[in-house]
Amino acid sequence: MCLTVSREAVLAKLRDGIVVFDIEGVKKAAEEAIKIGLSSYEAVMEGMSKGMDLVGKKYEEGEYFLAELIMAGETMKEGLAVLQPYMDKEKRAPVGVVVLGTVQGDLHDIGKNVVATLLTAAGFEVHDVGVDVAPEKFAETVRETKANIVGLSALLTTTMVNMKGVIEALEKAGVRKQVKVVVGGAPLTDEYAKTIGADGYARDAVMGVEICRAWMKGKK
C-alpha cells in the first residue's frame, strides 16, 4: 500500500513540476521514481507527459503562451536527461518515429524544439535533424530511421517555399508514401500546406503533436 502511495506521489511531483517549470524538483522526482522501482517509461508517460498535457491545455486556453511552452519543454528535457540511461536499457517500442527539422535557409529552432520535446513526452522517437536542412537530408534520414512522420518548420516567408522541395525529395527517394508530412511556422496556412502536397498543417506545437498522435492511432 505504501508503494502505491509513493508511486502516485512521485508521479504527481513529475506532473506538477513540469506545469510550474520546477527543474530541480522534476530532476529529484525522476531520481526518486527510479529508486522506488518505477520504469523510466512510467515516469515519462504517467508523470512528465501528463504535465506537458496540462501545459498544452493551458496554452490552448490562453493561460500560457510560447514562453511557458518553452520553459516547460526545458524542464522536461532536464527530467529526461536523468531518465535517459534507464530509457536506453528499457528500449520500449515508440508510438511512432518522427523526423523533424527546420527547412533549408532558415535558422529558427524555438518552435521546432518545443515540438520535439512534446513529441518525446507523447512517446514518439524523434530524430531532430536541426536547422537549415537540405531536402536530401530529410529524405536520407527518413530512409535510415524508417520514419512514419516528417515535421517541417519555417518562420520566414522566404524559406517556407523550401518545404515543397523536401516533399519532392521524399518522392524522388521513393519514401513519400511511407510518411505523413506535417508543416508549421508563423507564415504558413492550411491552404499553403495543401498547395505543396503536405498531409497536415499545425498552427502551433500542441496542434502538431495532436495531429501526429491521430495519424499513429489511425495506423493501429
Q: Are 38 and 3 in contact (CB under 8 A)?
A: no
Of 64, 90, 116, the domain-final residue? 90
Q: Are residues 57 and 26 in the same domain?
A: yes
Name the β-bridge partners of 182.
151, 200
Q: Are residues 150 and 128 in the same domain?
A: yes
Q: How confident is the model at residue 40 (pLDDT cuts 50, 70, 90)?
A: confident
**For 200-211, what is each residue's pLDDT tens digit?**
999 888 899 999
Q: Which helix (H) or strand (E) holds 28?
A: helix 23-35
**Domain range for residue 108?**
97-219
Number of domains in the chain: 2
Q: Are residues 82 and 187 in the same domain?
A: no
Q: Are residues 173 and 212 in the same domain?
A: yes
Comparing 1 with 7, which gets the higher pLDDT?
7
- Give the whole-angstrom CA distance, residue 129 versus residue 214: 23
Q: Are residues 191 and 125 in the same domain?
A: yes
76-99 average pLDDT score: 86
Residues in the chain: 220
Asked if residue 6 has pLDDT above 80, the reply is yes
Q: Are residues 26 and 62 in the same domain?
A: yes
Q: What local confidence, expressed as pLDDT, does residue 94 receive?
A: 85
Q: The pTM is what?
A: 0.78
55-66 average pLDDT score: 90
Q: What local confidence, expressed as pLDDT, does residue 220 receive?
A: 52
- Specify burial of residue 102 (Cβ count, 10 A radius: 0-12, 13-18, 19+): buried
**For 41-60, what is each residue's pLDDT tens digit?**
889 888 998 898 899 889 88
Name the β-bridge partners of 184.
153, 202
The CATH number linked to 188 is 3.40.50.280
- Give the whole-angstrom CA distance, residue 4 versus residue 185: 43
**For 173-219, what is each residue's pLDDT tens digit?**
999 999 999 999 989 999 999 999 999 999 888 899 999 999 999 86
